[in-house]
Every structure is written in structure tokens, then in C-alpha cells.
């Protein structure tokens, strides 16, 4: 494979950190640089031989810097095919020099949007010339090397240092692939910015970072996470996160986000097997664990308060896979790190999702996240028996829990504690039976508890079954053609029936 030397380079970068090593290698090879503005000044400070782009094109930078490199004398030198006599003849005719290397680092559009900048500042960070340079150089990879972002300064420097300032075709093709990765990601975020307030006919999803997982959902499946985990969590202990860990962590975070008061969740296979509020985070943990201590084994835990020493001691008594908290005391960390594989994550920032995306058939489904909760003022109480203030608090709690269980779902709550749940069942009565069986197994008194259902009861059999166990308050969205049967049963039995008008299917 024939190597090609680099005799000329066009450099136009936003971030200059880390560029010096590459430039110094090129200077030693007597490479001629073309550049503009601050980048040209930077290159000259390193001792580079620099020709200003304006001197090459005969045009200054115009429109406040919007147009610098968009000129045939730049793009002709990049796109000319070195093995095409007609291309070389035109270069000679119009006095266009060949350019062997293009180094670009685009305006930070994504970062500017994230900073909360106004529209004018964001629009000015849409790079035009840089994208054109990247695409042109990548297209002509047989003759030109493209460095499309700051992340690739070092890789090219290492190649040139090892190969006496030259690159081979395979390496140039790899840089071209990286270039189109960078440009498509950049354009995708611009599209998302313009599309954020409107319905659009297409979807663009792009993540510039990835992490290869040990395996996917099962050992025979490959798995990759695309996203920036270090931006969200600091891993303080334990092994790398698995595919299933990440799915459960997502479910745990979504549930914890529902609560402002001290709250603990225990997640298994995306469902809450334990959930509770408390006056302290220790109380919340003890109540959450008591809801189903068997299922908590190997679970993913999440809370919304710092982990103190006493809470760490209590958690340390059982085997868990993952613990997520906003902070840990120094002594708590010492205690929890006693298990070397236990994954401890410090959550750095709020994590919310406005969209849900799911692969289906030969495409994807996209929907808004289920961010709506039942509100007291919208309760439609269908019975003479009304809920007490304490029961209303549990209704609100139960509705937040059942929303995050797989359908068909029923949860039983009492005193800010999940005492029984049935989820992922093919019938509502089976979900109810599962929830009651759980509560009975762990010796909870179901009298005074609240039953929340993620969808309506198609028949009165479920409320009749619940009534046998002392459950008197039923919460459901309503909407069945046979709602009257359920209402009549509750009224005649002296039960309370609250319809929220809000269904929470989760598949």
C-alpha cells in the first residue's frame, strides 16, 4: 500500500488545545500551511510557514467571518484528483495549489445550544465553511487526509510520527469515515434544534460517544451503549455497567424523578419491587426493602437524598447490583465499597427524557414521555364514600408508582409504601391477584391500603376480589363501557372509587 506524504495543509479550527504536537511534526516536514484569523496566528506562533487564505483567494474574510474558505482556490485544491490529468490541468490553469491535509474543528453548536444561549448566538455557531471542508476532503480521501475534529489531532500525529510524515489509503479512508460521522452528527443536532417545537416528517438521532458492553440482554447478544454516561454519573465503585443494568437504571431514575420528598426505589427488570417515602432516607430504604425483600436481592437501587452512614450500613446487609444517589458520605462509601463488584453511582445532574423511542418492525416508534400525573382537582369520585386526606396522599403516591410498572399493572400502597404489585400480566385480575399475594406473603395488612390500576377495569370482578381483602379505595382512569358495574359494586360495598381520567399503559 503506497504511502503519501503531506506537503500542504489547510487548518481551520475552533479548539486549538492539543494541536501543537501535530503542527510540530508537519513543520519538521516543511509543510506549507494555509489558514485564517486566530488559527493562522496560532500556527505562526509555533513557527509554521503560513499563507493567509485571503492571500491565496484574493478575497478577504467577509460578512463578519461567515465566508472565509468558500472559494474555488481552496476547494479545487482539496477536491482535485491527482490521477486525473484534466483536474491537474485545471489546477495549473487557475493557479490552484493542491492541499494534502485538511484539519478542521467545527464551531461548538451542540455546546452552545446546551448552554441556553439565545437564538442569534446559536445560529452563528452553525459552521458552514468547516463542514464544506470536511466533506470535500473526505470525498477525496484517496489523495487527502481529513482531520474532522479535535479528537483526531492526536491519532494523526501518532501515525505521522510512526510513518515519517506519511499516510496510507486505509488510514485516509478511516479518517474519511470519521469525517462523515462528525458532519452527520453535527447536522443532526442542527436539525433537532430547528425541529424541537414542531412535528417533523423524519427523525435524526445521533450520539458521538459509545461504550461497548460486556454483552447485550443475554450473553449471546452483542451490546453497545451510545451516549455520554460520564456526563450523568461518576462511578465510585464496581464493575462496568451491563446492558440490563442500564435499562434498570433508566427505569429507576424515571421513578425517582416523580418525588421531591425522601424516596427510595428498588428495581428488578425495570419494575419497582420496592418503593417508599420516609421522613429520612434511611426510613425510606427500610420501607422500600420491606415491600419485597426477596426480589430486592440483586436489584438496582436509586434514591433522591445523600447516603449517610446508617443507611449505608442497612443497605450493606443485602446483595445489590447498583446503587444510585446524589451523594455519599465518606464513611458510607467505605462501608459500601466493601463489596468490590457493587456498582456505586453518583448522579451528577437531573436526568429527564422528553421522548420515548422504540424499534418496531422496519422503523421506530416515537412518543412523548408519560410525564403527566393525576391531580387531586381532577379526581372524579364516583361513590358516596370519599377518600380521607391521608388516603389522598396515598392515591397520589400509588398513581406515581403504577405509572412505572409494566402493563397490566396493579399496585397496593399504604402510608407512602408499596406493599404489593402485579405487573406484566395478560389480564387485570391476574395483576391484582399477584399484588395481593405479594402483600399477603409479606404480612401486610391490606385494610386501609389504596389500589391503583394503570387502566380501567373491564368488569367488576377485580374490585370484588380486592374487597375480600379489606381494600376500600380503588383508583383507576375509567373509560370502560362497563364502568357502571364497577361503580355500582363499590357503592353498594361502601367502597371509594376514584377515576382519574388518566391511563398509564406501559409496554
Please write the tens of the pLDDT for every residue from 213-244.
989 999 999 999 998 899 899 999 999 999 99
Helix (H) or strand (E) holding 396: helix 389-402
287, 275 Cβ separation under 8 angstroms? no
- Give the pairing of strands 450-453 and 32-35: unpaired
pLDDT at 9 over 60: yes
Question: For the CA atoms of the chain, what is the radius of gyration?
Answer: 31
Q: The cell 454516561 sits on which residue?
A: 229
Angle, alpha carbons 96-101-102 (nearest 5°): 90
Q: Is 139 a catalytic residue?
A: yes
- Predicted confidence (pLDDT) per residue in 166-175, tens digit: 999 999 999 9
On the CB side of 418, how many CA atoms lie within 13 Å of its CA? 35
Mean pLDDT across the stretch 6-30? 92
- Predicted confidence (pLDDT) per residue in 343-396, tens digit: 999 999 999 888 888 989 998 888 889 999 988 999 999 999 999 999 999 999
Angle, alpha carbons 329-281-439 (nearest 5°): 140
Of 129, 140, 166, 35, nearest in space to 87 by CA: 140
Q: Residue 183's pLDDT is what? A: 93
pLDDT at 89 over 80: yes
Mean pLDDT across the stretch 101-116? 90
Q: Where are any strands of DSSP class E within 281-405?
A: 299-303, 320-325, 343-347, 355-360, 363-368, 380-381
pTM: predicted TM-score of the whole model, two decimal places? 0.83
The more confident residue out of 87 and 414 is: 414
Mean pLDDT computed over every residue of the chain: 92
Cα–Cα distance between 38 and 41 in angstroms, integer? 5
Q: Residue 1's pLDDT is what? A: 55
Q: Which of 177, 185, 204, 269 is catalytic?
A: 269
pLDDT band at residue 38 under the 50/70/90 scheme: confident
Q: Is 507 a catalytic residue?
A: no
Amino acid at each position: 500500500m503506497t504511502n503519501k506524504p503531506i506537503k500542504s495543509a489547510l487548518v481551520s479550527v475552533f479548539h486549538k488545545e492539543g494541536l501543537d504536537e501535530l503542527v510540530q511534526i508537519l513543520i519538521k516536514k516543511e509543510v506549507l500551511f494555509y489558514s485564517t484569523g486566530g488559527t493562522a496566528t496560532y500556527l505562526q506562533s509555533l513557527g509554521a510557514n503560513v499563507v493567509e487564505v485571503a492571500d491565496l483567494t484574493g478575497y478577504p474574510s467577509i460578512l463578519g467571518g461567515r465566508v472565509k474558505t468558500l472559494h474555488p482556490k481552496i476547494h479545487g485544491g482539496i477536491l482535485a484528483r491527482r490521477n486525473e490529468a484534466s483536474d491537474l490541468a485545471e489546477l495549473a490553469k487557475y493557479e490552484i495549489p493542491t492541499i494534502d491535509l485538511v484539519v478542521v474543528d467545527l464551531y461548538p453548536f451542540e455546546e452552545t445550544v446546551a448552554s441556553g444561549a439565545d437564538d442569534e448566538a446559536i445560529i452563528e455557531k452553525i459552521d458552514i465553511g468547516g463542514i464544506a471542508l470536511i466533506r470535500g476532503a473526505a470525498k477525496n480521501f484517496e489523495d487527502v487526509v481529513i482531520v474532522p475534529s479535535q479528537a483526531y489531532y492526536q491519532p494523526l500525529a501518532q501515525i505521522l510520527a510512526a510513518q515519517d510524515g506519511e499516510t496510507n489509503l486505509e488510514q485516509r479512508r478511516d479518517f474519511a469515515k470519521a469525517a462523515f460521522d462528525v458532519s452527520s452528527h453535527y447536522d443532526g443536532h442542527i436539525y433537532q434544534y430547528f425541529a424541537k417545537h414542531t412535528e417533523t416528517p423524519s427523525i435524526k438521532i445521533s450520539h458521538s460517544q459509545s461504550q461497548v458492553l460486556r454483552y447485550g440482554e443475554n450473553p449471546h447478544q452483542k451490546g453497545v451503549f451510545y451516549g455520554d454516561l460520564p456526563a450523568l454519573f461518576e462511578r465510585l465503585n464496581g464493575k462496568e455497567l451491563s446492558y440490563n443494568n442500564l435499562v434498570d437504571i433508566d427505569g429507576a431514575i424515571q421513578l425517582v424523578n416523580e418525588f421531591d420528598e425522601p424516596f427510595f426505589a428498588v428495581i428488578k427488570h425495570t419494575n419497582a419491587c420496592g418503593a417508599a417515602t420516609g421522613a429520612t432516607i434511611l426510613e425510606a430504604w427500610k420501607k422500600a426493602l420491606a415491600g419485597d425483600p426477596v426480589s430486592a436481592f440483586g436489584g438496582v437501587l436509586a434514591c433522591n437524598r445523600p447516603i449517610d452512614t446508617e443507611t449505608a450500613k442497612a443497605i450493606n446487609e443485602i446483595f445489590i447490583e447498583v446503587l444510585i444517589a446524589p451523594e455519599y458520605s465518606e464513611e458510607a462509601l467505605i462501608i459500601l465499597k466493601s463489596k468490590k463488584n457493587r456498582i456505586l453511582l453518583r448522579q451528577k445532574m437531573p436526568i429527564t427524557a422528553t421522548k420515548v423511542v422504540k424499534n418496531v418492525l422496519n422503523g421506530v416508534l416515537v412518543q412523548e414521555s408519560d410525564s403527566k400525573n393525576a391531580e387531586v382537582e381532577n379526581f372524579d369520585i364516583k361513590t358516596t364514600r370519599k377518600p380521607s386526606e391521608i388516603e389522598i396522599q396515598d392515591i397520589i403516591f400509588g398513581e406515581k408508582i403504577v405509572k412505572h410498572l409494566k402493563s397490566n399493572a396493579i399496585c397496593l400502597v399504604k402510608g407512602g409504601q408499596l406493599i404489593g404489585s402485579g405487573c406484566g400480566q395478560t389480564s387485570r385480575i391476574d395483576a391484582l391477584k399477584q399484588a395481593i399475594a405479594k402483600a399477603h406473603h409479606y404480612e401486610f395488612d391490606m385494610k386501609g391500603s389504596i389500589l391503583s390500576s394503570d387502566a380501567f377495569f373491564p368488569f367488576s370482578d377485580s374490585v370484588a376480589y380486592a374487597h375480600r381483602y379489606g381494600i376500600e379505595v380503588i383508583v383507576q382512569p375509567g373509560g370502560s363501557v362497563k364502568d357502571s358495574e364497577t361503580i355500582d359494586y363499590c357503592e353498594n360495598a361502601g367502597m371509594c372509587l376514584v377515576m382519574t381520567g388518566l391511563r398509564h399503559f406501559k409496554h
